[in-house]
Chains A and B, each alone.
Chain A
Amino acid sequence: MRFCMWAVLLLPLFLGSFGVEGIEHGSVHTERISGSAGDVLEDNPVGRLKVYVYELPSKYNKKILQKDPRCLTHMFAAEIFMHQFLLSSPVRTLNPKEADWFYTPVYSTCDLAPNGLPLPFKSPRMMRSAIQLISTKWPYWNRTEGADHFFLVPHDFGACFHYQEEKAIKRGILPLLQRSTLVQTFGQRNHVCLNEGSITIPPYAPPEKMQSHLIPPDTPRSIFVYFRGLFYDVNNDPEGGYYARGARASIWENFKNNPLFDISTDHPTTYYEDMQRAIFCLCPLGWAPWSPRLVEAVIFGCIPVIIADDIVLPFADAIPWEQIGVFVDEKDVPYLDTILTSIPVEVILRKQRLLANPSMKQAMLFPQPAQSGDAFHQILNGLARKLPHDKRVFLKPGEKVLNWTAGPVGDMKPW
């Protein structure tokens, strides 16, 4: 298990340094990244894998969505759109015997509080109930105890199903999901809630809304650093130091007087337009290390400055984030201005060229209907790269690895 983790993390190194070639893409000069394994971003997964979609009763998916249609627009909407995509995708197979991967459509992040934030309290029970269903109705779960199944868990801390980090760590990943592949937005190295072999995906950001706010590319980029969001979470952590591990508060205290840093807690209507006029966009951690700001920065060509220690970014094995973004340790935040101004100009221009590459932007989006090279296809590419399954995951009949009674007592209640 641990070996696999190291293998996944060292995979980019084994793939060789990513070569870069400059091409004339239409009238815009962009750069393309080609690894020694080829253009990983532009791989076509069709034909390389087959996915079987379980038919679950609608109480696991449709009924939940009907109760609250806000699930289609918040940042966890990837689970719903993935289901819709797979239903009509050419990789779908109706014959489970020839399937490489099995998908269980459970909308675990769709139980919303009145203010729109998802409540994860019932999600473990929902998952257990779904897994119990598929293990009794179909033989494929018991065959491998879920090793060739994948689930989408886009919540704050993935399959730990809690929004508070301490509690999430205490719970750990749901025991029944330990052998499955988890497709999640959360990614942090050496964290309980990130299994080796998980696929990190970007959070959902509405593509049409972003496309409708594009401004002409010759608008000069005059803002040096841009950020809009909270620095102190006044409701939950008024003194600061807890939220974002103090990094956001540090940004505010150090740079509120700096004219180069356009940072505030405003909610301007020109947020997307302003990002297109900025050179650097800060993407610091919040309560969880990931945020839709990364997606927005990539779409709008603003170099993301990622301030989150040990974060694992989406599709890290396909996208060379060190070449596109700037990584700043949380302890170096007070010296952010020095760090950013000491980046050589050629490096900055190169990063902007890489960001201008349309395949990069496409890989971060979940467009409806799906287009080639988008995030759905990257997920399938990631799943295809994990094939063929190791022979050892196939269990002998009667052999049991998972402990069905592990976990807090509250999870055992039927849903």
Chain B
Amino acid sequence: MKQLTALQQQGRRSNSFRNASSPLDATVDGAIKSPATIFWLVLHGLCCLISLVLGFRFSRLVFFLLFSTSSSPSATTIYSALQTTLPSSGVTSTPERNVSAGTGGSRVVVGRHGILIRPWPHPDPEEVMKAHRIIETVQTEQRSLYGVKNPRTVIAITPTYVRTFQTLHLTGVMHSLMNAPYDLIWIVVEAGGATNETASLIAKSGLRTIHIGFNGKMPVLWEDRHKLESRMRLHALRIVREQRLDGIVMFADDSNMHTLELFDEIQNVKWVGAVSVGILAHSGGSEEGELSMVQRDNNETDEKKSEVPVQGPACNSSNHLVGWHTFNTLPYLERSARYIGDRAVVLPRQLEWAGFVLNSRLVWEDKLEKPVWVKEWEDVDRDGEDVESPLSLLKDTSVVEPLGSCGRKVLLWWLRVEARADSKFPARWIIDPPLDITVPAKRTPWPDVPPELPSSAEKVVTIPESTEKRPTKSGSRRKRSSRSKRKHSAKVLDDRLSTRNPGDN
């Protein structure tokens, strides 16, 4: 239809030109050149020039007015024709709102209008903020209409300790928790006692936080660290039990990544739920190859080659829990990281705590409300035992509810990235007072001396006082914030030109 309009106009134009030229043709052929002929020739030439300059529409208008054979054009068409001659360069001009006499009082006129552009056609920050508030209100309304009916408080348990990357990881978790649209209680358990550094960090969240210290420094070996973390989480559950906090307990490790759908999904849990956790266990090297990770507990070895291994509940076709996808550590045994800061793949345990959510009433003291399949707290919370996963709280693991469309949706991602235990960083990541002299380093000053590890004879499992020594090298200074993932070789640089080292370990 639109193309036809163009065709019509083309035809019309050629028609009008033909009309104009026909009287001329007749007379040019004749030998006598009358003044009328010259006049028409001049007029024709003039109109050609004008149409070249101003465009097709003006010439069309002139011929329309001069040679129109139809009935006298109505006021509407005259106005519209006049409007078409307005050059479109007036982009900020307002259109003419002439009331056309033809159609009783309409203020809408056919024809060309100007394109109205305001003087500063860019977003106004006030408007943008107002719009965002509107969007927020609409979404809250949507959530109350279509979302979870009675949202319960989320109790997030995070074990942490002061180290180089603590700020990085904890800020990530903090922002995820701040964005969750539910009431939240954040229990932060800190190894080595509660410090001001962590306290100042979590105070920025504005959430209700419970910051407790845990006696015992974080060990350097990954295995020991996992065990200590389990004990820290149990300690937090003890707090839940003592204070009778009501809600849904989830384990938000400080280096994990949580999706916001996770918080929506865990509202559906009744007693114990399990979600699928994606494991990002790569060390960044290209020697990974394929990863065959999936293994079922019920003796069916179903080897799937997936890009990213996933830990979580396994369901059959009728969406009942039949087993668990766990992390297969076999391909990694030689290459796994042993200590924090090791440049190798950090392996998760068989089933990470982060993949489970509990109803907080399971750890309360009342005997009446709890279901029969949950163990007594005293049986679980025994010194000396390593609680590997929340499944140890249950007598019968088949009652676990699979969440996230039966484990098909991965709702959080597990990752462990840590700097070396002996790396230095400024306290609270604030350089105060500002540095006087900064000199660019000539080479990246990564130390290639491995840190001192505890001897393998000593097992640091249960004794809170770990016997590992903080390695100190007197006399040499190292640059701060070494990274554990890198491909290039490291060089030691005694950088006397670098500024002073204000941070403590």
Interface positions of A (Cβ within 8 A of B): 28-29, 113, 115, 117-119, 156, 163-166, 169-170, 188-192, 216-218, 220-222, 224, 233, 235-236, 239-242, 245-246, 249-250, 253-255, 257-260, 279, 287, 309-310, 330-331, 333-335, 337-338, 340-343, 345, 348-349, 352
Known: A242-B112, A260-B131. A222 touches B139 (CB 8 A): yes
In the bound complex, residues from chain A placing their C-beta under 8 Å from that of B8 are 164
Determine whether B488 belongs to the interface, using a CB cutoff of 8 Å to chain A: no
In the bound complex, residues from chain B placing their C-beta under 8 Å from that of A190 are 103-106, 108
Determine whether B107 belongs to the interface, using a CB cutoff of 8 Å to chain A: yes
CB distance from A137 to the nearest CB of B (A): 34
In the bound complex, residues from chain B placing their C-beta under 8 Å from that of A239 are 88
| B90 nearest CB neighbor, chain A only | A241
Contact of B131 among A218, A309, A340 (CB under 8 A): A340
Determine whether B1 belongs to the interface, using a CB cutoff of 8 Å to chain A: yes
Contact of A349 among B84, B110, B138 (CB under 8 A): B138
CB pair B143–A236 under 8 Å, yes or no, is no
| A5 nearest CB neighbor, chain B only | B104
10 A-B pairs with least C-beta separation: A218-B146, A190-B106, A334-B118, A117-B1, A341-B130, A246-B113, A239-B88, A220-B139, A241-B112, A258-B123
Provide the B107-128 mask, 1 if CB < 8 A to any CB of A, else 0: 1101111111110011110011
| A310 nearest CB neighbor, chain B only | B108
CB pair B1–A113 under 8 Å, yes or no, is yes
**Cα–Cα, bound, A352→B114 (Å):** 34
Contact of B135 among A224, A245, A287, A342 (CB under 8 A): A224
CB distance from A193 to the nearest CB of B (A): 10
| A216 nearest CB neighbor, chain B only | B146
In the bound complex, residues from chain B placing their C-beta under 8 Å from that of A192 are 103
CB pair B112–A221 under 8 Å, yes or no, is no
Determine whether B45 belongs to the interface, using a CB cutoff of 8 Å to chain A: no
CB pair A164–B5 under 8 Å, yes or no, is yes
CB pair A241–B103 under 8 Å, yes or no, is no
Among B84, B94, B116, find the residue whose CB has the most chain A CB atoms closer than 10 A: B116
Known: A257-B123, A337-B123. A279 touches B5 (CB 8 A): no
In the bound complex, residues from chain B placing their C-beta under 8 Å from that of A279 are 134-135, 138
In the bound complex, residues from chain A placing their C-beta under 8 Å from that of B141 are 349, 352
CB pair B142–A169 under 8 Å, yes or no, is no
CB pair A191–B121 under 8 Å, yes or no, is no
In the bound complex, residues from chain B placing their C-beta under 8 Å from that of A163 are 1, 4-5
**Cα–Cα, bound, A260→B123 (Å):** 8
17 new A-B contacts at CB < 8 Å, known A253-B121, A254-B121: A28-B146, A119-B4, A156-B1, A170-B74, A170-B77, A221-B138, A222-B135, A241-B115, A245-B95, A246-B95, A250-B115, A250-B117, A257-B122, A330-B113, A331-B116, A334-B121, A349-B141
**Cα–Cα, bound, A222→B143 (Å):** 13
CB pair B134–A218 under 8 Å, yes or no, is no
Determine whether B98 belongs to the interface, using a CB cutoff of 8 Å to chain A: no
CB pair A287–B134 under 8 Å, yes or no, is no
| B109 nearest CB neighbor, chain A only | A245
